[in-house]
Amino acid sequence: MTGHEAVKAAAKDRRLVHDPRRVEGAGHGIPTRRYPLDGVSVSRHVLSADADDHARLRGLLRPFLTSDAVAQRAPAVRRSVDRALDRFAERGGGDLVADLALPVASEAVAQLLGLPLERTRELVGLSLRLSGPMHPDTPEMAAAATTMNKRLAAVVAHTRRHPGNNLTTALLAAYQEGGVSKNELLGSLSFVLFAAVDSTMTTIPSGVLHLLADTQREARRSLVDGTAQALSVLEDTIRLAAPFTHGVWRFASEPMSLGEYRVEVGDPVVLCFPAANVDPRVWPSAWEVRPDRSGPARHVSFGYGPHFCPGAELGRLQMRTALVELFRRFPDLRLAVDRGELACHANITRPFVTMPVLTDLATAANNTSHHR
């Protein structure tokens, strides 16, 4: 599904389910791991659950992601962004993926899960490998999955000894009270690592790329100056920077019609949020960031319906802080390579392998003469 209305209708249609085990013949015999985001389909967590199971698992996350909880994080997110940008200033540039989005997202998830940063970094590295483009049947992937399980078990043991006001402690308490299974406990931890980090590693670099266009000077200024349009600029940038490039999917639990398509029991249905976000019937000049779009929250970058992203406020906070500070500190920011040279992953969530940028004109000039 690619149209804006069609994607929204499918996202809230409860006949399309997430848990393939609930549908006889889901995928028609093709192992679910052949679908992209294998781990998301087969492990037990909020996004692979439906109905009561979904509500139960989602309820455990909610207290840690409310607007109030996220507002308290603002100073910590600002410190992460500042630290990353100090390094950009020292070196005259950096990589928006590895040197900005990755540390900012990793530090936020470390806080959310209540884990030491070093341990979180290792977990994030494993998570990125597991959600990466490598085929799920390779020995490297099997080894990464085994290591991930061992590390998550160690995280649970650590949290048992050092409980705190964090999501891991809450999940562990629910497990000890019989409210979640062991698979759900481990699945929830690994899914949060994936959901919080992969998405931010898409939205920050992609958002910057859109705003770097010459035509977006006003939009950049509005963000930095915090004008009345700044909020709309941010939302419209998030619209164009949506993750899950190739779509998320559900399985039909009964025969049904979706627009012009007939769908049979077990058919996978792919919802492409990024495509829905550039539907020309909803957004004229869809590929431009514009401050004057009516109804700023109509994009579906954070999904739609019962599985709407519970981390949306945290995602917005990270995105706003990163974009505002980047363009405030480095008004001459530019890509260090041509747009066409930006390497892309072939996987579902993170489009860019790297996005090198230069922070000032002097470095940019040196770099150009060096290349010549």
User: Is the Cβ of residue 127 or residue 359 nearer to ligand HEM in the bound state?
Assistant: 127
Q: Figure out which of the listed residues 6, 37, 47, 123 binds ligand HEM, where binding follows CB under 6 A.
A: 47
DSSP 338-358: -GGG--B-SSSS--BS--EEE
Q: Are 122 and 151 in contact (CB under 8 A)?
A: yes
DSSP 38-70: HHHHHS-SGGG--HHHHHHHHHHHGGGTSHHHH
Among the listed ranges 130-138, 176-184, 241-249, 327-335, the one in contact with ligand HEM (CB under 6 A) is 241-249
Residue nearest to ligand HEM (CB): 311
User: Is the Cβ of residue 103 or residue 311 nearer to ligand HEM in the bound state?
Assistant: 311
Q: With CB under 6 A, what is the number of residues at the site for ligand HEM?
A: 24
Tokens of 26: 């889901």
**CB count in 10 Å sphere of residue 153:** 13
Q: Between 250 and 289, how does the x/- string for binding to ligand HEM read (CB under 6 A)?
A: -----------------------x----------------
Q: Figure out which of the listed residues 1, 124, 314, 323 binds ligand HEM, where binding follows CB under 6 A.
A: 314
In a 13 Å sphere around the CA of 271, the CA atoms on its Cβ side amount to: 29
Among the listed ranges 78-86, 227-235, 314-322, 345-353, the one in contact with ligand HEM (CB under 6 A) is 314-322
User: Is the Cβ of residue 114 or residue 311 nearer to ligand HEM in the bound state?
Assistant: 311
Any idea what DSSP says for residue 31?
-
Q: Figure out which of the listed residues 310, 326, 350, 352 binds ligand HEM, where binding follows CB under 6 A.
A: 310
Tokens of 3: 């149209």
- Closest C-alpha to 275, from 77, 25, 6, 56: 6
User: Is the Cβ of residue 88 or residue 302 nearer to ligand HEM in the bound state?
Assistant: 302
Q: Figure out which of the listed residues 100, 252, 319, 358 binds ligand HEM, where binding follows CB under 6 A.
A: 319
Closest approach, Cβ 195 to ligand HEM, in A, equals 4
Please tell me whether residue 26 binds ligand HEM under the rule CB under 6 A. Answer: no
User: Is the Cβ of residue 273 or residue 283 nearer to ligand HEM in the bound state?
Assistant: 273
Please tell me whether residue 195 binds ligand HEM under the rule CB under 6 A. Answer: yes
Closest approach, Cβ 5 to ligand HEM, in A, equals 16
**CB count in 10 Å sphere of residue 292:** 9
Contacts of 169 (CB under 8 A, 6+ apart): 114, 159, 163
Q: Figure out which of the listed residues 126, 309, 333, 335 binds ligand HEM, where binding follows CB under 6 A.
A: 309
Please tell me whether residue 200 binds ligand HEM under the rule CB under 6 A. Answer: yes
- Closest C-alpha to 15, from 278, 266, 286, 368: 266
Closest approach, Cβ 315 to ligand HEM, in A, equals 3
User: Is the Cβ of residue 352 or residue 358 nearer to ligand HEM in the bound state?
Assistant: 352
User: Is the Cβ of residue 211 or residue 336 nearer to ligand HEM in the bound state?
Assistant: 211
DSSP 268-303: EEEE-HHHHTT-TTT-TTTTS--TT-SSGGG--TT-
- Closest C-alpha to 199, from 245, 231, 266: 245
Please tell me whether residue 237 binds ligand HEM under the rule CB under 6 A. Answer: no
DSSP 121-171: HHHHHHHHHHTSSS-TTSHHHHHHHHHHHHHHHHHHHHHHHS--SSHHHHH
Amino acid at the residue 170: A
Query: How are beta strands 334-335 and 93-95 bridged, if at all?
Result: unpaired
Residue 276 region by backbone torsions, left for phi larger than 0, else alpha for psi between -120 and 50, else beta: alpha
Among the listed ranges 94-102, 136-144, 193-201, 364-372, the one in contact with ligand HEM (CB under 6 A) is 193-201
User: Is the Cβ of residue 32 or residue 200 nearer to ligand HEM in the bound state?
Assistant: 200
Please tell me whether residue 46 binds ligand HEM under the rule CB under 6 A. Answer: yes
Positions in the binding site for ligand HEM (CB under 6 A): 46-47, 58, 61, 192, 195-196, 199-200, 203, 243-244, 248, 273, 301-303, 307, 309-311, 314-315, 319
